[in-house]
Structure 1
Amino acid sequence: MASERGAQAEGRCDWCGTDALYVAYHDTEWGVPEYDSRALWEKLVLDGFQAGLAWITILRKRDAFREAFEGFNPEVIAQWGEADVQRLLGNAGIVRHRGKIEATITNARAWIDMEEKGGFDRFIWDYVDGAPLRNTFTTMAEVPPVTDMSARMSKDLKKAGFKFCGPTIVYAWLEATGVVNDHLVGCPRHEEVAAMAR
């Protein structure tokens, strides 16, 4: 997400460039506090698929991912096995990476386990005492790729059985789900998403 150029003329964070899909994602989704446990899990899975790729690649394939992964229903995905992995490896609409597909199945099982122990959503939001962290960065160069919290959460997620959840992936996910508000202070969305916090 980082860029040296700061915000665009209209004040928007410039990591989304001018691609209409990316701009819409920035303007309507990125940074909005997400409290739904299943939706949080879906976004973590997609951030895991993004590893090594540009987020716009995942965004363009998101509908195909949702179809291929049964609407990201963890209860369904947790039952999958090798036949399902093979089916997904043949699906050109998604990122065909065996390790990431297998991790999604593993992560569905870990999500179910965590839900039964108090909730995946509560696990995540407890790190910030239920209130989004609101940063005050003025340029994208100031935004870190990793923080102590994302490293700690990554370690805890791995301990709980999750895969493809390294500190960098976790931090990008926390930004996307509004657990951390990293819209630049000059971006209109900085205040807008702050107002959406519970």
Structure 2
Amino acid sequence: MDKISLVFWQKGTKEKADAQGFASFLDEWWQQCREWLAWPLKALSPENAPLFMVDLLADECDVQRYSGEPESLYRLRVKTAYANAKDAGTKAGLERIWARLGLGYIEISEREDAENWDIVRINVTESIISEKPELLKIIVEKYGRTCRRYEYTTVANIDLNILSASVEHFTDNMTAKLEL
């Protein structure tokens, strides 16, 4: 932010010194006013607010912190609660919720079986199921479709080394005839 510079038409050093002092006083005062005005915005931002304020915002958004949840993930869930609620109940919405929370790969397939049409298969990386099973349960309960059964399948990333080599083959076919 630029400092205030006052141009005075008066001559002399005393007036210039007074003008510079007044300008620095106005700079400091305006900075303090900006901090006062910005405080409510900081207090209502789940990213910067004290944890007790995040808890109040979470209560307002119907987000509960589960046992062992990292604070950063909790703040992110509170921040995205309204957008997540808006996207709830659809396949594309669940994929967007997954992306907002930064949970990685997800693939959702519905109605694959004609007999069990209410099954929704969610294919995710194995680390999500092993590291954050409680979060997965909360996401499906809050933002999934009602009257559906969910099945989880996992994808595991493995390093695969394949050696390719040249294979040559030569055949020679000979026949022998015996005459008596």
Which of the two has greater helix per residue? 1
Q: TM-score when scaled to structure 1?
A: 0.24
TM-score normalised by structure 2 residue count = 0.25
Q: Which gives a bigger RCO, structure 1 or 2 (Cα 8 Å, sep 6+)?
A: 1
